[in-house]
């Protein structure tokens, strides 16, 4: 059994990774199209989605296994089974953006050599989508603690 505050701490860590991605983007480090940027933003999505799913009683070991693991789209689809996610304005567009990011993130190829060119939405779109999802995840984690 996980500690009550663990999902919130995981959400907070995901939010921190998003802030690091913003630093890379705002300071034009490696033109913000860099592997470190996509690692940071992809990892931030992974952590907040897992934080939400933990509050729904899904065990961490389940979320770490092959079907989910680093697969952002599978994590997102699992979260979509819950009303809080289904009601998010523009959720289908967010899902398609997550799917595109997942193409590069799920196998973690971008951390090594992997794809040389990444066709992902502009970082601003990824930040905006993250903020929408993060808001729902944060509120769910806070309610879980109480």
Domain presence at residue 88: yes
Cα–Cα nearest to 123, from 36, 6, 1, 61: 36
66 pLDDT higher than 70: yes
- Confirm whether 1 is domain-assigned: no
Residue 36 within a domain: yes
Does the predicted model carry a pTM greater than 0.75? yes
- Count how many residues are written for the chain: 146
Question: Looking at the 3D structure of the chain, how many domains does it have?
Answer: 1
Token readout for 95 is: 């899902």
Residue 32 is predicted with a pLDDT of 47
DSSP 113: S
Domain of 23: which CATH number?
1.20.120
* pLDDT at position 92: 93
**pLDDT, tens digit, 9 for 90 and up, residues 93-131:** 999 999 988 988 888 766 666 555 566 667 889 999 999
The pair of three-digit structure tokens given for residue 128, joined into one six-digit string: 């905006």
* 55 pLDDT more than 60: yes
Report yes or no on 71 lying in a domain. yes
Residue 1 and residue 51: Cα distance in Å, rounded? 14
With bands split at pLDDT 50, 70 and 90, how would you rate the model's confidence at 46? very high
Structure tokens at 17: 């990774």
């Amino acid at each position: 059994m996980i500690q009550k505050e663990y999902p919130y701490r995981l959400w907070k860590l995901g939010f921190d990774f998003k802030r690091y991605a913003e630093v890379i983007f705002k300071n034009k480090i490696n033109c913000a199209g860099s592997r470190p940027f996509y690692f940071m933003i992809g990892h931030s999505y992974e952590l907040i989605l897992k934080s939400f799913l933990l509050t729904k009683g899904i065990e961490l070991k389940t979320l770490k296994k092959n079907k989910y693991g680093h697969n952002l789209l599978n994590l997102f689809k699992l979260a979509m089974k819950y009303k809080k996610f289904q009601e998010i304005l523009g959720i289908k567009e967010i899902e398609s953006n997550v799917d595109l990011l997942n193409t590069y993130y799920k196998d973690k190829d971008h951390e090594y050599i992997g794809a040389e060119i990444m066709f992902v939405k502009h970082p601003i779109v990824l930040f905006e989508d993250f903020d929408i999802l993060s808001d729902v995840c944060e509120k769910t984690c806070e309610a879980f603690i109480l």
